[in-house]
């Protein structure tokens, strides 16, 4: 394309420096993340913008779409896109893309790490040694993965990667989702309560959004039982955080390993104070290798679109076909 045909792209929130560099090399790049007056920027360049590059967990709503009348595509950094109003995008004919697959293994690895850390109290043991307590007494015995049954809420790409890893631990595996998956042999439960009653570990791998908000509630936690362990690497909104804190405090469940929270980066003091938790600052995909791959896919979606080849990884709510 000639310089006059170069599409204008708006970077809403910085993801990685290499992403901005790759975008600037292929497009006429504008940045909203470091603009002193965002409203003035949108007024000045809004009608020229044809693509959005969106950082993780960045709210994108209908009001923004109204400021960008010629927007064609939103390319988002991350597999989750619950902060993007995909319904408003679909009504305007805007395609939304995300970065699935390239982070599934990394997040699944971390889910298993959180599970082991919560069951065997690995961070607590580390603190015990560093404080010099081992010289006086052995660290208390912990729970075990032996003879446990693990339930996965959401058997999508990441859920299946978690299940594959769990097979090596010799645990029973079951799952709940909107529909059973014919390609797997794990036990399917048609209700979340039923899954919680059947297992004593619940790994949350379901997408965020209104449909899943707070579905892991007090009743589900009670069904999981006093030996129950919750691991969440999905979205903090999927779990009723107040109910989880009370369940951990009261011994309704045994422990939790959490990488995500309801109001990130704000984590309740009551959750931090609990000794039966392992808490991480949303680092599921946080390796150099995986974040580089995510940034490359974000850029490649935009390049493919504007070269006329369509999006590489559109979300299902904004389907695309060559006929369109």
Q: What is the CATH number of the domain that holds 201?
A: 3.40.50.720
3-state secondary structure of 6: coil
Let me know whether 109 and 92 are in one domain.
Answer: no
Confidence of residue 324 (pLDDT cuts 50, 70, 90): very low
The closest alpha carbon to 75, from 92, 60, 91, belongs to 60
What's the pLDDT score for residue 4?
Answer: 60
In what helix (H) or strand (E) does residue 11 lie, and over which residues does it extend?
strand 8-11
* Secondary structure element (H or E) that encloses residue 203, with its range: strand 201-204
Same structural domain, 157 and 42? no
Number of domain units in the chain: 2
- Let me know if residue 223 belongs to a domain: yes
pLDDT in tens, 255-279: 999 999 999 999 999 999 999 999 9
Q: Are 96 and 183 in the same domain?
A: no
Percent of the chain at pLDDT > 70 equals: 98
**50/94 same-domain check:** yes
Q: Is residue 312 part of a domain?
A: no
Least confident span in 168-182, 218-232, 309-323: 309-323
- For the whole model, what pTM was predicted? 0.92
**What pLDDT band is residue 13 in, cutting at 50, 70 and 90?**
confident
Active site residues: 235, 264, 282
Peptide bond into 265 cis (omega under 30): yes
Q: What are phi and psi of 149, to 5 degrees?
A: -115, 130
pLDDT tens-digit series, residues 213-238? 999 999 999 999 999 999 999 999 99
Greatest C-alpha distance within the chain: 74
Question: Do 130 and 265 fall into the same domain?
Answer: yes
Reported as a pLDDT band with limits 50, 70 and 90, residue 39 is: very high
Can you say whether the dihedral through the CA atoms of 247, 249, 254, 255 is positive or negative? positive
Range of the domain at 58: 3-102+288-306
My answer on whether 111 and 242 are in the same domain is yes
Rounded to an integer, the average pLDDT of 233-253 is 98
Are both 153 and 259 inside the same structural domain? yes
Answer whether residue 321 is part of any domain.
Answer: no
**Residue 142 within a domain:** yes
pLDDT at 323: 44
What pLDDT is stored for residue 105 in this prediction? Answer: 98
Per-residue tokens: 55:
């950082």
Residue 311 lies in a domain: no
Instruction: Examine the domain organization and report whether 223 and 108 are in the same domain.
Output: yes
Mean pLDDT within 49-65: 94
Q: Are residues 49 and 151 in the same domain?
A: no
Share the mean pLDDT of the chain: 95
User: What was the pLDDT predicted at 35?
Assistant: 84
Asked whether residue 270 falls in the same domain as residue 300, the answer is no
Residue 321's pLDDT band (boundaries 50, 70, 90)? low
Residues 190, 203, single domain; the answer is yes
Does residue 297 sit within a domain? yes
Do 125 and 167 lie in one domain? The reply is yes
pLDDT at 82 over 70: yes
Is there a domain that residue 126 lies in? yes
Q: Is residue 203 in some structural domain?
A: yes
68-to-44, 54, 109, 286 alpha-carbon distances in Å: 11, 14, 39, 31
């Amino acid at each position: 394309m000639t310089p006059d045909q170069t599409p204008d792209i708006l970077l809403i929130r910085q993801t990685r420096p290499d992403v901005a560099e790759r975008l600037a090399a292929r497009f006429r790049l504008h940045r909203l993340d470091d603009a002193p007056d965002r409203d003035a920027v949108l007024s000045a360049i809004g009608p020229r913008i044809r693509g959005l590059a969106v950082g993780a967990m960045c709210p994108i709503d209908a009001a923004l779409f109204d400021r960008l009348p010629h927007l064609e595509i939103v390319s988002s950094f991350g597999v989750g896109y619950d902060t993007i109003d995909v319904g408003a995008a679909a009504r305007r004919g805007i395609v939304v893309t995300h970065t699935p697959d390239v982070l599934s293994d990394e997040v699944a690895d971390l889910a298993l790490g959180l599970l082991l850390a919560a069951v065997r109290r690995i961070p607590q043991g580390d603190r015990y040694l560093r404080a010099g307590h081992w010289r006086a007494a052995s660290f208390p015995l912990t729970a075990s993965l032996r003879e446990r049954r693990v339930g996965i809420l959401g058997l999508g790409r990441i859920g299946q990667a978690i299940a594959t890893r769990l097979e090596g631990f010799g645990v029973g595996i079951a799952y709940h989702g909107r529909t059973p998956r014919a390609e797997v042999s794990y036990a399917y439960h048609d209700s979340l309560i039923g899954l919680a009653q059947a297992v004593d570990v619940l790994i949350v791998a379901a997408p965020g959004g209104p449909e899943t908000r707070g579905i892991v509630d007090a009743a589900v936690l009670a069904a999981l039982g006093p030996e129950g362990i919750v691991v969440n690497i999905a979205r903090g909104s999927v779990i009723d955080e107040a109910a989880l804190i009370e369940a951990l405090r009261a011994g309704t469940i045994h422990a939790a390993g959490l990488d995500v929270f309801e109001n990130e980066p704000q984590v309740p003091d009551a959750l931090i104070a609990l000794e039966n938790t392992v808490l991480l600052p949303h680092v599921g995909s946080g390796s150099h290798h995986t974040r580089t791959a995510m940034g490359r896919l974000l850029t490649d979606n935009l390049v493919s679109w504007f070269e006329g080849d369509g999006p590489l990884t559109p979300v299902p709510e904004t389907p695309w076909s060559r006929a369109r």
